[in-house]
Structure 1
Amino acid sequence: MSDSLNRLHPLSAVTYALQHGFVWLWIPVTLLLVLAGVFDPIRAGWIPFVAPIGFLAGVAYGVAYYYRFGYAVTPDTVDVSSGVVARRSREIPYRRIQNVDIKQGVIQRVLGLAVVSIETAGGGDSEATLNFVGEAEATRLQREIRRRTADSRDRQRSRDEQTAESEATTDASELADTGPSGESPSTPVRTPDAESSSPSAGPEPSEPGEPSDTGTNEFSEQRRHPLFALQSRELLLYSFTSVRAAAVAGVMFVFFLATDSIFDYLLTVAEPVGGPADLGSGTVGSYGVLTLVSLLNAIGVTYLLSVAYTFGTYYDFQLGRVGEDFVYERGLLQRYSGSIPSEKVQSVTITDNPLQRLIGYAGLWVETAGYGPDSNGGSQSAVPLARRERVHTFTENLTGVETPTFQRPPPLARRRYLARYSLLAGLIVLVAFGITQVTIFDRWYLAAVVFLAVPPAAHLRYVHLGYYVGDDHIVIRRGFWKRQTTVIPYYRIQTVSTRRSVFQRRLGLASLVIDTASSRTMTRSAPRIYDIELADARETHQTSRERLQTALRERAAADDPGVSVDFT
């Protein structure tokens, strides 16, 4: 741990003081309310006197936290020390650092502040967060840590190459010493002194933690090469053709906190088309109209919130490369700046939904091992939206994958989906029947209309499934509402497992799960080849295992980082 630690920006002291002050304010207030309900002498009217005590205590703690927080960038690690009562000191080696993000909200941009987050592979949370530093200091830290991370990576590669050369030299020496007849040849032995004084001897390797003086590191010069920029037209198309879960959550939050004004608005809108005049009086039909109008309004508000959220999140999206890493910037109200290490990329996924497919557009996402700022377990956008042909070209240049020829599951799988969705439709009708038994509604049979959607739903699920087993990659396609085409290099495969449910065993089908270091998240499972014949699943399973070992050997021999950062 470094002895000389830097402090955060002075405004951080104000932030921490106010933050802890308002939190601690409620401690004595809550305690007073509890005691007032138990002991008569204690009165709730004392709140104006005890609340300031808690607020001042929180302010004092926040200021103490600021003065006890420090960070330093050393030759080998990033050191962070924090804690008032319980001290915590962290030394983060550069070889573990995966990402250095800079985040700025509106107020932070006005004040010239930024939040710096240091992410490491394998963690769901930030390893260290500097909240807040100045903009210039944030940029300096990001560049310095990236440079030292690249230097650490280069030194590790040099050590690996030297080790490999040393082992090869030792093997050759042993073979030469024995000779064809098993006798040692009469060749002079070079001493270390003679070897070091030889004109052909290269410079001594630098010690770990010391920057090398030889060569030019592209990261050191911080030359940024642009790869992709989201144009205004593409940003608008992306905003209007995407639906964000955050918007749905926002509408649900408003629903649970619904006020009288919201109900009055819905009643006013529904009344002209047959809705009730108020909630206390109405017929079954008028309540049905009110429900339909409320649903349509919720969908409209959700869509508008999604458009606004997507526009603000991906405004001025730019992707570039610095050295062997991708770097990006995005955001309108809250600005993000981060990197995607190429050596951490596990897979590449092309995504599109029905609207995007209709206009011929798609997006490109990369999966990394560990935490990502898009909060999808390492899922980060490389190209939010572009023409489909351009995205396919990006993918081929990025991964080196050949154009896939997809194989579909057997037609028996479509019959399975037809039966599954028929059962689901029957369950919906059953639920509707149960509702009519406890409410005033009586036309439960109208729910049977969902059976009309069963055949097209089964067909659409079937036609959007496919897989391709290539020489260096396996490609998996699945999904209709959000179709995903995932390209996985064999050397990134962690496990391959064959799964069979009870129904699949009866039909002779199986699913193949291809798991990488970033496959499983809270909202998305590992890529899976669905409902193929058992013999094909076993053959693909065995082929993947064999090509995994071959790819690992070839990659180790070629020192291949796996993806090309200059994929345009």
Structure 2
Amino acid sequence: MNRLHPLSAVTYALQYGFVWLWAPIVLVLVLGGIFDPIDPAWTSVAAPLGFLAGVAYGIVYYYRFEYGITPDTFDVASGVVARRSREIPYGRIQNVDVKQGVVQRLLGLAVVSIETAGGGDTEASLNFVSESEANRLQEQIRQRTAEVKDRRRRREQSTAEHDSPVDEHGHDVESTEPSPDASVSSTPELGPEQAADDRTRSGRAGRTRRQRLFALEARELLLYSFTSFRPAAVAAATFVFFLATDRVINLFIMTAQPFGGPAALGEGTPTSYGILTIVSAINGVLITYLLSVAYTFATYYDFQLGRTGEDFVYERGLLQRYSGSIPVEKVQSVTVIENPLQRLIGYAGLWVETAGYGPESSGGSQSAVPLARHRRVHQFTENLTGVETPTFESPPPLARRRYLVRYSLVAALIVAAVFAVTRVTVLERWYLAAIVFAAVPPAAHLKYVHLGYYVGDDHLVIRRGFWKRRTTVIPYYRIQTVSTRRSIFQRRLGLASLVVDTASSQTFVWETPTIYDVYLEDARDVNSTGRRRLQSALRERAHDDDLGLSADFT
């Protein structure tokens, strides 16, 4: 069994020391309020004692934490008072992720996280090991995981070959002779160069060779940073505002003065305060946008996607370096994602949805290609899934009328809200807010024209969204449930929405792929076709022992 890096002892000592520092302080203050003999001044003595006790506990925890690689499992033992021993079978391991912050990179340390297919929680975390040890663990665990999967696949294939060609009901089924190429690996067919690279060893090093598939160039990184928006930037901007409220307000007042804003709060007119509000809103949006640009740039700096065996592996990050993997057999769906700016310049991104863990969020959404030329992304999608070029079916024109009514109601609510504000403030001319009705027809049209679906032979393709258009490719064998949903308004119009759910723990922006507002008959046809082709796809995969996805990005 191995121990963590010696600097981990310092980390645990300080961590538990500062945590335990507060325990005696709180205890003395609480007991001091109940019992008169206990003086709150004792905290000056109790706090150092708590800190020392925490430091001692952290050091003992370090010496009691052990890990090791065995032929069948990755073992972790931890705990001081209550010992916990975990044996993680390689067949259950989904990801071996390596994270490095700025300080960790300077010290040559890394955090190794072992993720299993059971969900989004980390099964085991090694905090910290040396960078070389992290790479060794990542490589060896991936190799052993791949070997377990190969043995399982060969055993299932051998069992299928010796089974009698009779189904569970005693009916005859089609007998298939093994092809001359039956000895070839059962992974999806690749080109000659990809097949040669697949699962080859790099000579004496004995490591699986990594095939490079995609790298985010500097120009693409800048385009991605300036044409995307991160919701985390809103939280960051809010934090900055509360951290330096007076300075931010003074900055807003100073920038509004050249346009007629007040000289100071409490010294302006209603017009100057209106100017201050508009300028402050513009400044807030600008600051949030710049924070989003910086966050995206730092997150996806030097993004590289590669392939090792049957897994996609990637590295990214400027301040915090991240190395992770995307197991091919866990991929549930593939989504091409693009916003209006990216569509305007001819770019798009490619995301994959996996079952269980995903580092991009608490669910399974992961970026395979952050940004690339639109044609290249679609080629990646076709190579990855084997999907045929889709010919989208649009919802009926009745759906556009529904969106027109819906957005008209939203505009009416906005005008009513502005009217209410003018009743309790000095603001006037509430009727100017009615200009929002001018945006209703184009909004309804844009929502309608960006909806579509395609029922292919092997895949269901769903397109939706204008501000963030998502085109999701779902293999039939990945579908878990297909449900038809109808609101009270849809029932009156004879429309329905079809929700297609996979085994992923979380979908993009918490939205399940949905075919919106089609005729009820069409929804039922897609539902029955999906169920029928799901069964066919499952039978074909069981017979061919197919992963279903190709790792050919070239």
Work out whether the TM-score is over 0.5: yes
1:196-211 matches, within 5 Å, as none
Corresponding residue for 1:431? Answer: 417
Structure 1 residues 47 and 286, CA, compared in 2 at 3 Å: closer, same or farther?
farther
Q: How do residues 52-91 of structure 1 correspond to structure 2 at under 5 angstroms?
A: 52-91=48-87
Q: Give the CA deviation at 1:521.
A: 4.4
Who is 2:156 aligned against?
160
Alignment pair present for 1:31 and 2:27: yes
The one-letter amino acid of 2:379's match is T
Whether the aligned pair in 2 keeps the contact of 1:519 and 1:525 (CA below 8 Å) is no
Counterpart of 2:249 in 1: which secondary structure? helix
Structure 1 partner of 2:173:
none
Match 1:118 to one of 105, 114, 118: 114
C-alpha separation between the residues in 2 aligned to 1:107 and 1:168? 61
Q: How far apart are 1:256 and its partner, in Å?
A: 3.2
Q: CA deviation at 1:37?
A: 4.5
Deviations 1:312-368 (A, max 9, x none): 111111111111111111111111111111111111000000100000000011111
8 Å contact 2:119–2:505 — kept in the other structure?
no
SS of 2:546's partner is coil
Q: Which residue of 1 aligns with 2:45?
A: 49
Do the aligned partners of 2:365 and 2:508 also contact (CA within 8 Å) in 1? Answer: no
Letter in 2 for 1:499: R
Task: Find the counterpart in structure 1 of residue 186 from structure 2.
Answer: none
Of 300, 319, 323, the residue aligned with 2:309 is 323
What is the aligned partner in structure 1 of residue 239 from structure 2? Answer: 253
Q: Please list the CA deviations of residues 69-117 of structure 1 after superposition, one character each: whole Å capped at 9, or x if unmatched.
A: 1111111111111222222221111111111000101110111100001
Which residue of structure 1 aligns with residue 515 of structure 2?
A: 529
1:473 and 1:539 map into 2 onto residues whose CA distance is 15
Aligned to 1:302, the other structure's residue is in SS state helix
Deviation at residue 169 of structure 1 after TM alignment: 9.0
Do the aligned partners of 1:496 and 1:513 also contact (CA within 8 Å) in 2?
yes
- Aligned residue for 1:286, secondary structure, equals helix
Counterpart check, 1:366 vs 2:365: no
1:507-546 aligned within 5 A: 507-518=493-504, 520-521=506-507, 523-546=509-532
Residues in 2 aligned to 1:543 and 1:53: alpha-carbon distance in whole angstroms: 70
Match for residue 101 of structure 1?
A: 97
CA contact (8 A) 2:13 2:54 kept: yes
Asked if the contact 2:353–2:507 (Cα under 8 Å) also holds between the matched residues in 1, the reply is no
Q: Distance in 2 between matches of 1:238 and 1:170?
A: 54
Greater Cα offset, 449-458 or 409-418: 449-458
Q: Identity of counterpart residues, as a percentage?
A: 73
What are the within-5 Å matches in structure 2 for residues 135-534 of structure 1?
A: 135-168=131-164, 217-218=199-200, 221-375=207-361, 377-518=363-504, 520-521=506-507, 523-534=509-520
Which ranges of structure 2 fall in alignment gaps of 5 or more residues? 171-182, 184-197
Q: 1:550 aligns with which of 536, 540, 546?
A: 536
Q: TM-score, normalised by structure 2?
A: 0.91
CA contact 2:98–2:113 (8 Å) conserved in 1: yes
Equivalent residue letter for 2:321: R
**2: CA distance between counterparts of 1:217 and 1:236?**
34
Q: What whole-Å deviation, never above 9, does each CA across 1:253-287 have from its counterpart, x for those lacking one?
A: 22333431221111111122121222223222222
Shift of 1:61: 1.5
Matched residues in 2 for 1:521 and 1:33: separation? 47
Q: CA deviation at 1:41?
A: 4.9
Greater shift, 61-70 or 412-421, is seen at: 61-70
Higher RCO structure, 1 or 2 (CA under 8 Å, sep 6+): 2
Report Cα offsets for 1:127-173 as digits up to 9, x if no partner: 111100011110110011000000000010111112112223999xx
CA distance in 2, matches of 1:354, 1:169: 54
The residue that corresponds to 1:129 in the other structure is 125
RMSD: 1.9
Contact 2:67 2:74 in 1 (8 A): yes
> What stretches of structure 1 move > 6 A for 4+ residues in a row?
none
Cα separation, 1, equivalents of 2:389 and 2:199: 34
Please identify the structure whose Cα radius of gyration is greater. 1
The letter of the residue matching 2:134 is A
- Cα distance between partner residues in 2 of 1:221 and 1:466: 45
Amino acid at match of 1:422: S
The answer to whether the Cα contact below 8 Å between 1:236 and 1:311 also exists between their aligned partners in 2 is: yes
Amino acid at match of 2:49: I
SS of 1:100 mapped into structure 2: strand
User: Match of 2:158, SS?
Assistant: helix
1:393-434 deviations in whole A, cap 9, x for unaligned? 111011100000001100110111111111111111222222
- Which consecutive unaligned segments of at least 5 residues does structure 1 have? 175-201, 203-215
Moved more, 237-246 or 119-128: 119-128
1:22 corresponds to 2:8: no
Classify 1:500/1:170 alpha carbon distance in 2 versus 1 (closer, same or farther; 3 Å). Answer: closer
Q: Residue 329 of structure 1 contacts residue 337 of structure 1 at CA under 8 Å; is this kept in 2?
A: yes
Partner deviation per Cα, 1:31-55 (whole Å, 9 max, x = no partner): 3333444555544444332221121
In structure 2, give the amino acid aligned to 1:427: L
Instruction: Say which is worse superposed, 471-480 or 277-286, in terms of deviation.
Output: 277-286
Q: How far has the Cα of 1:218 moved from its partner?
A: 3.3
| Corresponding residue pairs, total | 522
- Contact 1:376/1:523, CA 8 A, preserved across alignment: no
* 8 Å CA contact retained: 2:362, 2:506: no
Q: Which residue of 2 aligns with 1:206?
A: none
Secondary structure of the residue aligned to 1:367 is: strand
> Partners of 2:434 and 2:237 in 1: how far apart?
29
What is the DSSP-based 3-state SS (H/G/I as helix, E as strand, rest coil) of the residue aligned with 1:168?
coil
- The 3-state SS of whatever aligns with 1:276 is coil
Distance 1:287 1:391 in 2: 48
1:474 Cα shift? 0.4
